[in-house]
Structure 1
């Protein structure tokens, strides 16, 4: 089961709040997953979803709020994904038109409304409920162990603008791009995603997200430090190898004993400590010498070796 399914299962089991919030949540669920059909001049409603907990929640919202005669049909997917999907059917009956009007999905003349009903934007509780329905109806979120990504696809520009406004009430700056089939709203920042999880009431999933996020960031930081230390070590070993080659060359052609005392001292110390850093070599000298002092002596040795190679 994906992380998105875990979040939906948690949210779908949360208790209902006020009647206005139930209506707001139902409005967003129908907007994303619903389709209308006219049968003998009467409206019928059908919703499809892939999560059993979400299907049960839609069914219960319809029963509790409007006491509709409602049926759920389970179908098996036919392609690569062999799971189930669920169809919630509301046959033509009294109250269907009122439901759609109250949800702001149609106008009185039966034309479709592609905007979010203004009443749902006014109350904070209804804004939360509408976003909760959006997530249950069609949003997805990656597991935090991978990339941070939240997305939702809608098919109307005005609706995408309304949703952007709705998210902005909670200081979430959701982006969108035009895609084939509609407009993709998305979040890439972990802070925004955790804020959305908190808004829709997915508190257990939020804790799991944050725990994984902290572990991931610590792991990445450790990896960066290890990579940095490895790079520095490789650099130190490479430099030391070149210094040893210079010292061996001088010893072969001139003899280390003929070097100035300070250069002879550092040459012997380098041969005895082939993997020591510049700082460590300085600490081994008596008296100790700074890194710049050691580097200066090694540069003088390098210069002598270069003269020998050029002669």
Structure 2
């Protein structure tokens, strides 16, 4: 079971006692995963399809609590490689069905208004919970942080985005192949969203994995930084020794000042020491010792230029 399926399974068992919250959640579910069925003389029904058994049971339970119409439930085998079952909760077209869909604001489809009034924080959380169950997904916390809700209806995506913003979630919206995605790519944002929709266990699991992941990343950053600093130290020491050896080879070492010779002898005696360690041994400051090595480097560089001119 994927992490997204775990989240949906958990929130599909969330206890909802308030009728307004139940209707908001059911409305979002039907908007996301339902298809309105039209009969004669204004009769309407709906077919809700999902691959999650717990979500199908959730829709069936909430519908029975709200309306007297008995839904039909069918199971269809998937045709793709995974061959997952698809659960269809269907309300056949009828006058009562039309009234129910109107009560849930699923019909008529008004592209300029919100599906429901959605007043109150709990009602808004319920709508987001239903939207996620209907067509949402979230990555495993071990990977990149990404949560999204997808719909083919632009106005519905705007409603979801507006509700997320009300809870101060860092959500954004984009379009992809005729669909609209409302997504969150920040770890804190994903965690907050899971809390808002009532996925407590998924939130705790997400945060637990995220803490370990961030600790590991911090350790790696420190190790990488130390490795880079160590490499710089080694490169600097090698270059300093090479400059000294150049001056020795051409017989110019003895022309260095006593201070420069002291620095050179210190480096030759301690080929792997850091500049800080050499400074501590010499009683000089790091900047003072570094200045001496720069002068030695200039001498070596001048010798290299003289050789090139003679050639």
Q: Same fold (TM over 0.5)?
A: yes
Distance (Å, rounded) in 2 between the aligned partners of 1:129 and 1:17: 11
Please list, as runs of the form range in 1=range in 2, the aligned pairs for 1:177-196 lying within 5 A after superposition.
177-196=174-193
Distance (Å, rounded) in 1 between the aligned partners of 2:248 and 2:204: 65
| Mapped pair 1:116 → 2:114 | yes
Mark the runs of 5 or more structure 2 residues left unpaired by the alignment: none
Paired residue for 1:229? 226
Paired residue for 2:87? 86
Distance (Å, rounded) in 1 between the aligned partners of 2:227 and 2:127: 51
Alpha carbons 1:74, 1:86 under 8 Å: kept: yes
Bigger drift between 69-78 and 258-267 goes to 258-267
Bigger drift between 65-74 and 198-207 goes to 65-74
Paired residue for 1:29? 29
Paired residue for 2:71? 70
Please list, as runs of the form range in 1=range in 2, the aligned pairs for 1:1-311 lying within 5 A after superposition.
1-41=1-41, 42-92=43-93, 95-106=96-107, 111-114=108-111, 115-119=113-117, 121-254=118-251, 259-285=256-282, 288-309=283-304, 310=306
Q: Compute the displacement of 1:10 (Å).
A: 0.9
RMSD: 2.1
Measured at CA, do residues 261 and 26 of structure 1 come closer, stay the same or move farther in structure 2, by a change above 3 Å? same
DSSP 3-state at the match of 1:167: helix
Alpha carbons 1:164, 1:173 under 8 Å: kept: no
Distance (Å, rounded) in 2 between the aligned partners of 1:184 and 1:308: 66
Distance (Å, rounded) in 2 between the aligned partners of 1:269 and 1:182: 69
Alpha carbons 1:69, 1:91 under 8 Å: kept: no
Distance (Å, rounded) in 2 between the aligned partners of 1:135 and 1:160: 12
Alpha carbons 1:77, 1:84 under 8 Å: kept: yes
Q: Compute the displacement of 1:192 (Å).
A: 2.2
Provide, for residues 219-264 of structure 1, a one-character-per-residue CA deviation record: whole Å limited to 9, x for no partner.
2222222222222221211121111112122223337566433223
Alpha carbons 1:24, 1:103 under 8 Å: kept: yes
Distance (Å, rounded) in 2 between the aligned partners of 1:171 and 1:299: 55
Q: Compute the displacement of 1:50 (Å).
A: 1.1
Provide, for residues 250-294 of structure 1, a one-character-per-residue CA deviation record: whole Å limited to 9, x for no partner.
223337566433223222221222121111111122xx1111111
Alpha carbons 1:155, 1:181 under 8 Å: kept: yes
* TM-score, normalising length: structure 1: 0.89
DSSP 3-state at the match of 1:87: strand
Count of aligned pairs between the two proteins: 304
* Aligned structure 1 segments of 4 or more residues deviating by more than 6 angstroms: none
Q: Compute the displacement of 1:188 (Å).
A: 1.8
Distance (Å, rounded) in 2 between the aligned partners of 1:227 and 1:73: 56
Alpha carbons 1:256, 1:267 under 8 Å: kept: no
